[in-house]
Amino acid sequence: MLPDIELKTIDSKTKNLNDYKDKTIVVVNVASKCGFTPQYKDLQLLFEEFKDKGLVVLGFPCNQFGAQEPGTSYEIAKFCEAQFGITFDMFEKIDVNGPNTHPLYVFLKSKAAGILGTESIKWNFTKFLIDKSGETIERFGPNDSVDKIRTQVLKII
């Protein structure tokens, strides 16, 4: 079951994680000036491929890794639209580690540890897959391709 966590969209609207109940969810911390930024394209393709089957992708800009997401919400949204045609849900910039970690990432990290059991997010484009019942299925590192996520999505969608 998904917890009650408030989310702010990139255009400052309020949503709740529960708005996505009964959906298959991919949550990813993103950055516009990162070597992994081209993954936006593959995430958009994954979204388009499975959105009619209940898949959502939730992008959370984060500037905690090499200051690779310095822009404002407006600048990030324009970049995503212009460079990658992003239509999946994007949210305001958040922290994924440290004292100001967003409650969503507190939840996700507690459900799916990273390498060697560590909870902290190591870099941009760390991805979490949540099934329709709200169970966190798997955590994928930045180096994990979207094709690897697609394989898991096919098993649960």
Domain membership flag for residue 1: no
Q: What is the pLDDT of residues 36-81, one digit of tens each?
A: 999 999 999 999 999 999 999 999 999 999 999 999 999 999 999 9
Helix (H) and strand (E) counts for the chain?
4, 7
- Provide the number of structural domains found in the chain: 1
What is the separation of C-alpha 30 from the centre of its chain, rounded to a whole number of angstroms? Answer: 7
* Amino acid residing at 145: S
What pTM does this model have?
0.96
Residue 151 belongs to domain spanning: 6-156
CATH number at residue 129: 3.40.30.10
- Of 26, 28, 31, 34, the active-site residue reads 34
Active site residue 34: yes
Domain membership flag for residue 109: yes
If DSSP codes are grouped into helix, strand and coil, which group holds residue 27?
A: strand
Domain membership flag for residue 53: yes
